[in-house]
């Protein structure tokens, strides 16, 4: 009877526990179903379970046991990470196979920086085979010669299989597990490598352009920018796995810390580029000392990592310091009124945002991790940064060109003022000579009256004085005539005689006078539109240009002349043409460069063009009848 009661009690207790259990939520890992429509699936949240093995002592048999297997937990983030660097973490996923799908599938690990992945793949009999992949193994051992890590799956089965992975990495790694069909993987891989080609190609184009600018202009900022871009390329190749695939596939030990070298050069050349582009040593001496101090400190930290503890290389957040210094320097100089710094600040803003996104993800803010988008966010920010930094360099060149042109205009104005002062001084000296002559004449008359012995001499002197007065009157009349016609006389001399640049500038002192001359020369008789033939026009938007009143076509004064799109001051181009004409093309480009203060290569290019035109118009020049070098101005065939 007691046994019967005891059995009844146990039965009732079991029933109560069963009823209570029905009201509690029961967690079960979600399996991924393979069917004929599945081409790609990214495992996330409760599709991935993990177990941290901080001491690294758990074996695979222990992991499969019920006691330890129950300790697996679903991933709280869409993309799990290894929170403890160097310590192994176990992951498992479930896949429900379908033989009817008739496709081959593989598992891919997207993060190329994972050091070691030990995969346990089951067969149809439930026996697990072990495969090892990761960037600590020689690249040739991989099943696919691809930058990511792939594992082939056997879909010729009709069951639900559990796959285990033991992952350890010295760097923060994103455990992005993707299930892909073979056809989807091939198309994806081709598109990915094409994208990488475009990405690296853009950086190389930026670098090559700035290298050409460095060779042409010899400014160190271009060289620093090129070296910075190449450092970015090498660093991105290290993080993308491209460098391990193509540059050092047989050096896995070097691959663990290869990224540290371009990371160092990125910081150094970014700061040197900032210092050179923004002229920090002039505009902010304190920040200049800070930049040099950060460069020295960054090199010291690199040497400490290299000789004391290479594991410190993984603390990439140290790059926040040089990035912040460069960003603050750009902001400081921009707020002080230096306009080219605005593009610099904009470019570094994108890079700063991308770096901070990676930094916060590393600190554990997993809600910022958007999978592939956040994974490549820093690469996109690098491209935007380089794009706007190129604008900053171009803006600085434009500003320097503007200052140079302003200096040239001031020089021409000063030369014109010097010529005017010279003429005034000559007139004053002439007046003083006349006054002195008159004074001597009066003294001669006084002496003649006082000395009878010299009467005849005085009479002769008076006659001479009268003659001198008459000649002076004639000279004054001629001077007045010359004064009123000085522009015509000087221009005529410029067309037919040899004179220096000071005298030549009297006729063409500035751009306006040169354009007026070209306008008068082109439209001597009447205006006729080159597009529609209309003869009526309005003044154009540019000085001395003419706009057709019928079709609106506007023709500038320099169009269809040898000065169209001229790259040197037009008054110097006038003088260069004049010198070539007056010397019959015998003057050398070196002499032209010395006279005009223009580079020899530029003088040679323009002089060659004028010499060719003189040869073609030799017959017309012989019959110039005073028109001189103006016959060389009009050019209906091509621009100079």
Asked whether the predicted pLDDT for residue 7 surpasses 60, the reply is: no
Contact 386, 225 (CB under 8 A): no
Using CA atoms, how far apart are residues 301 and 465, in angstroms rounded to an integer?
A: 95
DSSP string across 150-161: EEEE--S--SEE
Averaged pLDDT of the chain: 79
Residues above pLDDT 70, as percent of the chain: 79
DSSP bridge partners of 162: 94
Using CA atoms, how far apart are residues 261 and 268, in angstroms rounded to an integer?
A: 11
Asked whether the predicted pLDDT for residue 9 surpasses 60, the reply is: no
Contact 546, 554 (CB under 8 A): yes
| Closest to 279 measured CA to CA, from 201, 396, 430, 106 | 396
DSSP bridge partners of 106: 152, 180
Three-state SS at 339: coil
Phi/psi of residue 519, nearest 5 degrees: -65, -45
Q: 292-299: long-range contacts at Cβ-Cβ below 8 A with a sequence spacing of 24 or more?
A: 294/267, 294/321, 294/322, 294/325, 295/267, 295/268, 295/271, 295/322, 297/321, 298/264, 298/267, 298/268, 298/322, 299/264, 299/268
Averaging pLDDT over each range in 21-30, 97-106, 405-414, which range is the top one? 97-106
Per-residue pLDDT at 624: 64
**All residues at 6 or more sequence positions from 242 whose CB lies less than 8 Å from its CB, including other chains:** 147, 196, 236
Q: Is residue 330 within a helix (H) or strand (E), and if so which, with residue range?
A: helix 320-335
For residue 73, the Cα-to-chain-centroid distance in whole angstroms is 48
* Lowest-confidence segment of 64-73, 101-110, 192-201, 362-371 by average pLDDT: 362-371
Per-residue pLDDT at 18: 37
DSSP string across 58-70: --HHHHHSHHHHT
229-285: per-residue pLDDT in tens? 888 889 888 888 888 888 999 998 888 888 899 989 988 988 898 888 778 888 888
Residue 441 buriedness (CB in 10 A; 0-12 / 13-18 / 19+): middle
Strands 160-168 and 89-96: antiparallel
Query: Which band of pLDDT confidence, cut at 50, 70 and 90, is reported for residue 13?
Result: very low
Asked whether the predicted pLDDT for residue 440 surpasses 50, the reply is: yes
Per-residue pLDDT at 350: 67
Name the CA dihedral angle for 565, 571, 573, 577, rounded to a multiple of 10 degrees.
130
Q: Is residue 132 within a helix (H) or strand (E), and if so which, with residue range?
A: strand 128-133
Asked whether the predicted pLDDT for residue 24 surpasses 90, the reply is: no
- pLDDT, average across residues 422-444: 83
Higher pLDDT, residue 483 or 173: 173
| Composition of the chain by helix, strand, coil, percent to 5 | 60, 10, 30
Using CA atoms, how far apart are residues 245 and 550, in angstroms rounded to an integer?
A: 65
Ramachandran class of 146: left when φ > 0, alpha when ψ lies in -120 to 50, beta otherwise: beta
| Closest to 396 measured CA to CA, from 343, 325, 350 | 343
- pLDDT, average across residues 7-15: 37
Contact 96, 31 (CB under 8 A): yes
Per-residue pLDDT at 396: 64
554-611: per-residue pLDDT in tens? 888 888 888 888 888 888 888 888 888 888 888 888 888 888 888 888 889 888 888 8
Asked whether the predicted pLDDT for residue 10 surpasses 60, the reply is: no
Per-residue pLDDT at 550: 86
143-175: per-residue pLDDT in tens? 888 889 999 998 888 899 999 999 999 887 889
- pLDDT, average across residues 464-483: 72
Residue 91 buriedness (CB in 10 A; 0-12 / 13-18 / 19+): buried
Name the CA dihedral angle for 258, 264, 270, 276, rounded to a multiple of 10 degrees.
-130
Higher pLDDT, residue 265 or 366: 265
Asked whether the predicted pLDDT for residue 394 surpasses 50, the reply is: yes
Which residues in 169-231 belong to E strands, given as ranges?
A: 177-181
Higher pLDDT, residue 405 or 75: 75
* Lowest-confidence segment of 16-25, 128-137, 156-165 by average pLDDT: 16-25
Q: Which two tokens stand for residue 323?
A: 């990035």
- pLDDT, average across residues 132-140: 91
Using CA atoms, how far apart are residues 417 and 114, in angstroms rounded to an integer?
A: 74
Angle of CA points 130, 133, 134, to nearest 5°: 150
Residues above pLDDT 90, as percent of the chain: 18
Q: How far apart are the first and last CA of the chain?
A: 122
């Amino acid at each position: 009877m007691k046994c019967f009661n005891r059995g009844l009690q146990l039965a009732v207790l079991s029933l109560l526990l069963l009823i209570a259990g029905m009201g509690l939520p029961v967690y079960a890992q979600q399996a991924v179903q393979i069917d004929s429509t599945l081409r790609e699936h990214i495992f996330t949240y409760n599709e991935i379970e993990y177990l941290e093995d901080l001491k690294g002592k758990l074996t695979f048999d222990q992991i499969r046991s019920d006691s330890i297997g129950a300790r697996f937990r679903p991933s709280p983030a869409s993309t799990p990470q290894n929170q403890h660097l160097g310590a192994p973490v176990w992951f498992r996923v479930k896949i429900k196979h379908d033989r009817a799908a008739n496709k081959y599938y593989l598992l891919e690990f997207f993060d190329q920086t994972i050091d070691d992945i030990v995969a346990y793949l089951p067969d149809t009999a439930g026996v697990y085979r072990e495969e090892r992949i990761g960037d600590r193994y020689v690249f040739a051992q991989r099943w696919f010669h691809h930058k990511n890590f792939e594992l082939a799956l056997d879909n010729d089965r009709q069951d639900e299989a559990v796959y285990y992975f033991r992952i350890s990495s010295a760097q923060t790694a994103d455990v992005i597990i993707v299930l892909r069909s073979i056809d989807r993987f091939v198309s994806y891989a081709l598109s990915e490598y094409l994208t990488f080609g475009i990405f690296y190609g853009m950086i190389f184009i930026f670098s090559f352009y700035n290298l050409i600018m460095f060779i042409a202009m010899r400014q160190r900022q271009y060289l620093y920018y090129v070296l910075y871009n190449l450092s970015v390329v090498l660093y991105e190749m290290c993080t993308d796995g491209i460098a391990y695939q193509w540059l050092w596939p047989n050096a896995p030990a070097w691959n663990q810390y290869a990224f540290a070298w371009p990371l160092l050069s990125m910081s150094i050349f970014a700061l040197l580029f900032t210092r050179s582009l923004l002229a920090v040593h002039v505009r902010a001496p304190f920040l200049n000392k800070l930049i040099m101090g950060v460069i020295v400190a960054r090199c010291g930290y690199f040497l400490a990592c290299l000789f004391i503890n290479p594991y410190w290389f993984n603390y990439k957040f140290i790059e926040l310091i040089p990035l912040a210094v460069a960003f603050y320097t750009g902001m400081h100089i921009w707020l002080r009124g230096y306009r080219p710094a605005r593009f610099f600040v904009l470019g570094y803003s994108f890079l700063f945002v991308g770096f901070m996104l990676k930094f916060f993800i590393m600190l554990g803010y997993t809600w910022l991790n958007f999978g592939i988008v956040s994974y490549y966010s820093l690469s996109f920010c690098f491209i935007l940064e380089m794009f706007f930094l190129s604008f900053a360099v171009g803006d600085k060149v434009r500003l320097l060109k503007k200052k140079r042109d302003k200096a040239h205009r001031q020089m021409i104005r000063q030369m014109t003022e010097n010529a005017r002062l010279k003429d005034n001084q000559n007139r004053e000296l002439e007046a003083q000579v006349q006054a002195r002559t008159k004074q001597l004449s009066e003294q001669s008359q006084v002496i003649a009256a006082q000395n009878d012995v010299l009467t005849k001499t005085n009479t002769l002197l008076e006659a001479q004085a009268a003659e001198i007065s008459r000649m002076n009157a004639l000279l004054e009349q001629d001077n007045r005539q010359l004064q009123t016609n000085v522009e015509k006389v000087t221009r005529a001399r410029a067309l037919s005689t040899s004179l220096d640049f000071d005298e030549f500038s009297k006729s063409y002192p500035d751009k306006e006078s040169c354009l007026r001359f070209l306008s008068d020369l082109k439209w001597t008789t009447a205006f006729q539109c080159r597009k529609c033939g209309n003869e009526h026009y309005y003044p154009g938007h540019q000085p001395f240009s003419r706009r057709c009143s019928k079709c609106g076509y506007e023709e500038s004064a320099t169009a269809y002349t040898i000065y169209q799109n001229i790259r040197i001051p037009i008054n110097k181009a006038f003088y260069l043409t004049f010198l070539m004409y007056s010397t019959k093309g015998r003057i050398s480009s070196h002499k032209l460069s010395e006279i005009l203060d223009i580079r020899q290569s530029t003088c040679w290019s323009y002089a060659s063009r004028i010499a060719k035109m003189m040869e073609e118009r030799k017959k017309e020049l012989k019959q110039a009848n005073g028109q001189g070098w103006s016959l060389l101005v009009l050019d209906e065939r091509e621009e100079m």
